[in-house]
A = this chain, B = another copy of it.
């Protein structure tokens, strides 16, 4: 349960858009104590922003991304490579060592800038990377700052389950990263400006809705697999679970488990690591006698499942997978799955024209206009408590159909008919989702992530 910071004004959570006020702030603290707290800089209040009170955290965790340079270093660490060896190795692979190092330095400098700015305000800072970042650290902090790109924001958000905990993103490599979820690029090099705006209340809170997942069915495995860092072999992992269940005789149908994750962008359901015909499910087998590890990639396959939207009828489907996103995620993968190309619109309109049905001449401008309007219709506000589901590369044949390739919904239920599928949350955490498992996917405004929109 979150430790609630004191309020300067009424809890901003109780805005008309959202329902139950922040649990921890059910009763506003008496004013003197709140002011004292604010003065001490400890447990400073969550101002309503936008002309109201400011926000002055006293403890901040900065979650920094792992650069590609660090990634390559870590990857070959077990071999005890020197810096020179690493340079040669990367050159052998054709990678650009100096380019990687340069981006690493840019990022590192920008992180230092953020950390220094915070410490100059006598804010207590913990700087962590992926491995060290956890829920306790997020709870310790008054605010979480991600220093990286959008991926790092997803990471930062993944350990926050408290609607009152602000998460702010700083884009540490604006030349390479879009940073949709981050503050505007100008604050990367002048973070104190952002801090001042926070203090002065020259911002408003933005609640980014998130998706929650329930899992049920025979033999489900609610243990998350961290796709970013995993120390157990997959097979040992699965086997340990199966063994456990085998012995416990827990083979009855399990009730719905609420999974310990909230999707900020999307949930993707499909055959493990599915790239359609190039799916490989990794089977890790250890030959205990020789201690010679090996693994097998099995045959690729499409994803089979049944889907029910808003408690509608179940429909069998076969596709490259199902994507269910939030307003935040509507700009991310979902957008790329669903957007239409200029070229496609042009060809469709040519066909229409051929049938004599088109008035206007087919000029570039018109085609672009139609394309843009179509693509824009795929985007919606992160604050809207609705989901957008889309089926990726649906397969339509004798057995499978797909009446609606996509649409808005409040609830999506999926029954797996897959061999080796998973549900992947924000590209980072995955859950087994095999034949028989049923997932219920929906938004609860309780799960919204509090982020910051600075005023210009």
Contact = CB atoms under 8 A, between A and B. Distances in A.
Interface stretch (A5-13, A33-41, A206-214, A284-292): A284-292
A374 B357 contact: no
A147 B369 CA distance: 50
A343 B404 contact: yes
A436 interface: yes
B434 A151 contact: no
Number of identical protomers = 2
A265 to B, nearest CB: 7
Contacts of A435: 93-96
A345 interface: yes
A358 interface: yes
Contacts of A284: 293, 295
Nearest to A99: B435
**Number of contact residues on A: which range applies?**
35 or more
A374 B355 CA distance: 13
A274 B275 contact: yes
B231 A434 contact: no
A228 interface: yes
Interface string A57-97: 00000000010100100010011000000001101111110
Give the residue among A273, A360, A393 with the most B Cβ atoms within 10 A: A273
A239 interface: yes
Interface string A405-424: 11000000000100100001
A91 B291 CA distance: 30
Given A278-B268, A294-B230, A397 B178 contact: yes
A120 interface: no
A94 B405 contact: no
A360 B352 CA distance: 10
Interface in A220-245: 220, 225-234, 236, 239, 242, 245
B393 A94 contact: no
Interface stretch (A19-27, A329-337, A445-453): A329-337
A296 B130 CA distance: 13
Interface in A256-284: 265-266, 268, 270, 273-280, 282-284
Give the residue among A220, A424, A427 with the most B Cβ atoms within 10 A: A427
A295 to B, nearest CB: 6
Interface stretch (A44-52, A192-200, A297-305, A381-389): A297-305
A360 B355 CA distance: 9
A348 interface: yes
Given A151-B299, A276-B337, 17 more contacts: A71-B298, A71-B299, A75-B283, A78-B285, A94-B219, A94-B437, A96-B435, A229-B297, A265-B277, A268-B275, A268-B277, A277-B424, A293-B293, A299-B428, A300-B428, A336-B394, A340-B348
